[in-house]
Amino acid sequence: MASHSPKLADSVQFPAQKDATKAFYGVGIVGLIASGVGYFLNADQFFFSYLTSFAFYTSFALAALILVMIHHITKSSWGAVIRRIPESLFAKFWIWALFFIPIILGMSNLYSWTNTEYVMNDPILAGKTPYLNEPFFIIRQFIYFGIWSFLGYKLHKTSVKMDRTRDWGLTALLRKFSAPGILLFALTIAFASFDWLMSLDAHWFSTMFGVYYFAMSFQALFPFIILMVFWMHSNGMLNNIIKKAHIYDLGAWFFGFTVFYAYIAFSQFLLIYYANIPEETLWYYHRLEGSWETITYMLLFGRFVIPFVLLLNRESKHNELLLKITAILILAMHFIEIHWIVMPTLHHHGLAVSWLDIATLIGLGGIFMGLFFQTFKNNNMVPVNDPNLPDSLHKEYHQ
């Protein structure tokens, strides 16, 4: 079926003078070179810092992937005008996957279960060797990134194709990818979080860790989208297409998943506290000693209490200043929380900030944002022939 494009009040072409792709790539290359120097100075710190930054940026792409698949499977219209932002986050997953290679090369620095002698003298780790072994770990990474790259490529390619062909039949194809994609996503993000983060302390286990990583990632996605929307508005892009009602919806999702994140994070803590199994409780014990205790309480207030209070009021969910403040706070807390998950394995007794934390954050961030802008600028900023676009354009905010 052919569509008739709705009349748009703004240009949907990304202005060439606002293109920051080369700048991001340049910053990323400089950061990665500096990180490479750090590898020769302190290999352990390099790999732990690199893993922290990689897990941080990958979380946005993964959260964007599930958001778009949910959008397609539910045929929702509210997010049609902002959908190209999350699509651009995961479209080049197959390139981003290459940046996992240093983690594979640094497995012996990161994961104690790669030390055969250590594992054989530890009955708990010896029992986990059918899963925690290097060949199977590497195979699993190929599976994860293969699935994510395929879904990301097909969802983005089909969406962009609809812009050119005006074929609404492609929406059925998007749903066919999304329905099994959601199930595959749930399985792969859970096991990827086990592999990358939970197995850093191979004695520890939590059946909730997969949904915990998902919850923190999904909460952090909405600040990214919100800040991107406000940046576009400040540069004269899509001011009349992404309106107050859409910003309110983003704020509402942001608030909702702030509560969801807190529920999951607290539930994981409560279940482990109540069960009182040594292998489980020690993970939290190490994060409640030394300066890590301060970070733990910082996360409680910075990731839940403060944003909950700031976004509780209905009007605050579209207030630009409050949304910007809360979004920046959550993005900072998101990185700090992943750092809090990873680094106690290396720095047992307290926070020890390294310049490599900053170098890897900048290096990988430059590449990640370069890939994002390279995709975003080369296509319409709005899916102009999506059948849900007219409803999205006419969405109004009701007092």
- pLDDT tens digit sequence for 104-134: 999 999 999 999 888 988 888 999 999 999 9
**Residue 16 pLDDT more than 90?**
no
pTM: 0.95
Task: Quote the pLDDT of residue 257.
Answer: 96
Do the beta carbons of residue 53 and residue 34 sit within 8 Å? Answer: no
**Could you say which DSSP state residue 153 is in?**
H
Share of the chain above pLDDT 70, in %: 98
The phi, psi pair for 91, rounded to 5°, reads -60, -35
CA angle 223, 226, 229 (to 5 degrees): 150
**pLDDT tens per residue, range 149-159:** 999 999 999 99
Q: Report, as an integer, the average pLDDT of 137-164.
A: 95
Confidence class for position 397, pLDDT limits 50, 70, 90: low
CA distance 86 to 380: 13
**Residue 1 pLDDT more than 50?**
no
| Rg value, the chain, Cα | 22
- Greater model confidence, 396 or 304: 304
